[in-house]
Structure formats: C-alpha cells, structure tokens
C-alpha cells in the first residue's frame, strides 16, 4: 500500500493549515500528516518513527487529509458550541464532586431510572445498580476530571494523575434532567473513541442565559 500523492493545491492547503485546525484532528492522524506532509518524512521513515505498520499509516494519512479538506470547506466563522447555565453547573458539580471523591453526593443525584454504561463492557440500569458504578473509582485516585464537550454534549474529560501530557485519556458523556443525572457513558475501556470524537475543553464553550 502507498499513500495517495498530494496535488499542489492540497500541499499548499496543508502547509497553510493553522495549529488550531491541526489540533482538531485525532492524535495519530495529526502526527502522521505533520511528519509526512509538513516535515517531509518518507512513508517508511514515518512507520519507523511511530512504530505503526504501513497499512495503518496509509489509512491515517488518507483519513486525516480528507478531514482537512472538509475543514477547509467549512465557513470561516463556525458557531462555537454552547452550554446553558444549568448544563454548565451540573457538569461542574459532577467534576468537582468526582475530584473530591465525594461519590455519595453523585449517587444522591442519580435518577431512579438512571443508566450507566462502561462502553464495550457492561450496562447498569436503575439507581441501585448504577450506584455501584462509582465503586472502582472510589477505590483508586488514579483519575481526575475536567469539564468539556464531546460532539457538543456535556462531558467529563478524564486525565491520569501525574501524566506529563495534558491530553485526556478518555471521556465520560453525561445526560442530566434538571438536577437528576439520567445517564453516564464512560469510555474508559473504549479509548479508541477519542480519536474520532470532537473533544473541546469547557473554555471553548460560550454560556448562554438559562
């Protein structure tokens, strides 16, 4: 397999791409394109640097370049995702109580018909069953959370304690109804989702009046 050749127009577009745009790409796609299309490494050198196979690198380059073409076609001014005051407050409460290891406060907010899913592993339904979801987190202090958005939805971004790179390891999507926590989708065991998701820190969101 060989990487598809770039046209002169595509090469100019990639060279002119801003860091902010590159940061919208999943990590492996971003790294592959920067190494090959910006820094000029060959395909074999890219494989050696990253430790990935030729088919994997080729697929990443193909997807990443396609994403950049789509981004180049977007209007210059994209509306930023927004959270209402109530959504932001609920998310801030979840993150604050999680980081304080106050899981009883989070259990108190569970709706009677709450649902929790460890994506790819298990689904829990009902307040009593979902309460057990917090058990593993209560027994370790490996993770801390920060508020964010995933595909425009409120989410907690999970970071590993002491990690040098300040990029999330995975995310937890939350669904609230007023003060009641309806659903938790935890991607701790499905971290591949991070590569394809549009993830933004909460600072990127505007808050509108509730």
**CATH T-level topology, domain 82-208:** Nuclear Transport Factor 2; Chain: A, (3.10.450)
**What pLDDT is stored for residue 208 in this prediction?**
40
**What pLDDT is stored for residue 9 in this prediction?**
54
Lowest mean pLDDT among 104-118, 131-145, 187-201: 187-201
**What pLDDT is stored for residue 165 in this prediction?**
55
Is the domain spanning 8-72 CATH 1.10.1200.10? The answer is no
pLDDT band at 163 (very low <50, low <70, confident <90, very high): low
Number of CB atoms found within 10 A of residue 159's CB: 17
pTM above 0.75, yes or no: no
Cα four-point dihedral sign 133, 138, 143, 149: positive
Domain locations in the chain as residue ranges: 8-72, 82-208
Mean pLDDT of the chain: 82
Lowest mean pLDDT among 3-12, 53-62, 193-202: 3-12
Lowest mean pLDDT among 22-26, 33-37, 40-44, 178-182: 22-26
Percent of all residues in the chain with a pLDDT value above 70, rounded to a whole number: 79
Cα of 176 vs its chain's centroid, Å: 19
DSSP string for 80-135: PPEEEHHHHHHHHHHHHHHHTT-HHHHHHTEEEEEEEEETTTEEEESHHHHHGGGH
Q: Which residue has the higher pLDDT, 2 or 80?
A: 80
- Region 58-69: what's the mean pLDDT? 86
What does the angle CA 152 – CA 155 – CA 18 come to, to the nearest 5 degrees?
55
């Amino acid at each position: 397999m060989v990487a598809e050749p770039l046209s002169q127009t595509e090469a100019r577009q990639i060279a002119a791409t801003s860091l902010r745009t590159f940061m919208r790409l999943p990590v492996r796609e971003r790294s592959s394109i920067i190494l090959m299309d910006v820094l000029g490494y060959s395909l074999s050198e890219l494989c050696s640097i990253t430790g990935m196979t030729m088919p994997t690198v080729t697929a990443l380059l193909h997807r990443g370049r396609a994403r950049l073409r789509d981004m180049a076609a977007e209007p210059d001014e994209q509306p930023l995702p927004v959270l209402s005051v109530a959504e932001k407050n609920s998310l801030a409460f979840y993150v604050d109580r999680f980081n304080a290891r106050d899981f009883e406060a989070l259990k108190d907010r569970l709706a009677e018909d709450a649902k929790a899913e460890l994506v790819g592993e298990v689904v829990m339904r009902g307040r009593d069953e979902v309460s057990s979801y917090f058990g593993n987190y209560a027994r370790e202090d490996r993770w801390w959370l920060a508020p964010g958005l995933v595909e425009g939805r409120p989410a907690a971004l999970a970071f590993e304690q002491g990690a040098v790179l300040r990029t999330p390891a995975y995310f937890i999507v939350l669904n609230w109804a007023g003060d009641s926590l309806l659903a938790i989708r935890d991607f701790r065991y499905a971290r591949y989702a991070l590569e394809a998701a549009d993830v933004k820190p909460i600072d990127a969101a505007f808050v509108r009046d509730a």
